Homo-oligomer: A and B are copies of this chain.
Amino acid sequence: NRSLDSITSRRIIHLPGLIDVHVHMREPGATHKEDFTSGTAAALAGGITMVCCMPNTTPSVVDEETLKVAQNAAKKKALCDYALFVGASADNAKSVGKLAKDAAALKMYLNCTFSTLELSDMSLWKGHFVKWPSSRPICVHAEGHTLGAVLLFVHLYGRHVHFCHVSRRDEILLIREAKEKGLKVTCEVTPHHLFLTAEDVPQEFRSVKPPLQSKEDQDALWDNMKVIDCFATDHAPHLVGEKTSKNSPPGFPGLETMLPLLLNAVNEGRLTLDDIKEKLHDNPKRIFGLPEQWDTTVEVDMDEDWVIAAETQFSKAKWTPFAGMAVRGKVQRVTLRGVDVFVNGSVVVQPGFGKDVRNEREYNKEVPTREKAAKTRIDVP
- Which A residues form the contact surface with B (CB < 8 A)? 110-111, 120-124, 126, 144-153, 155-156, 169-171, 173-174, 177-178, 181
15 contacts between A and B (CB under 8 A): A121-B169, A122-B144, A122-B171, A122-B174, A123-B169, A123-B173, A145-B148, A145-B149, A148-B149, A149-B149, A149-B151, A151-B152, A152-B155, A152-B178, A156-B178
Given A123-B170, A169-B123, A170-B121: A177 and B156 within 8 A (CB)?
A: yes
Interchain nearest-CB distance for A40 vs B (Å)? 35
- Chain B residues in 8 Å Cβ range of A123: 169-170, 173-174
Main secondary structure of the interface of A (DSSP, over half): helix
Quickly give the copy total for this chain.
2
Report the bound CA distance from A110 to B178 in whole Å: 20
Of B120, B124, B145, which is within 8 A of A146 by CB? B145
Apart from A126-B177, A148-B153: 8 A-B pairs, beta carbons within 8 A: A122-B144, A122-B170, A123-B174, A145-B148, A148-B149, A149-B152, A152-B178, A156-B177
Report the bound CA distance from A105 to B123 in whole Å: 30
Report the bound CA distance from A174 to B126 in whole Å: 10
Interchain nearest-CB distance for A129 vs B (Å)? 11
- Chain B residues in 8 Å Cβ range of A146: 145, 148-149
Interchain residue pairs A-B with the least CB separation, the first 4: A148-B149, A122-B170, A152-B152, A123-B170
- Chain B residues in 8 Å Cβ range of A178: 152, 156
Contact (Cβ within 8 A) A156 B181: yes
Who on chain B is nearest to A147 by CB?
Answer: B149
Report the bound CA distance from A148 to B149 in whole Å: 4
- Chain B residues in 8 Å Cβ range of A144: 120, 122, 145
Interchain nearest-CB distance for A221 vs B (Å)? 13
Contact (Cβ within 8 A) B122 A148: yes
Report the bound CA distance from A126 to B152 in whole Å: 15
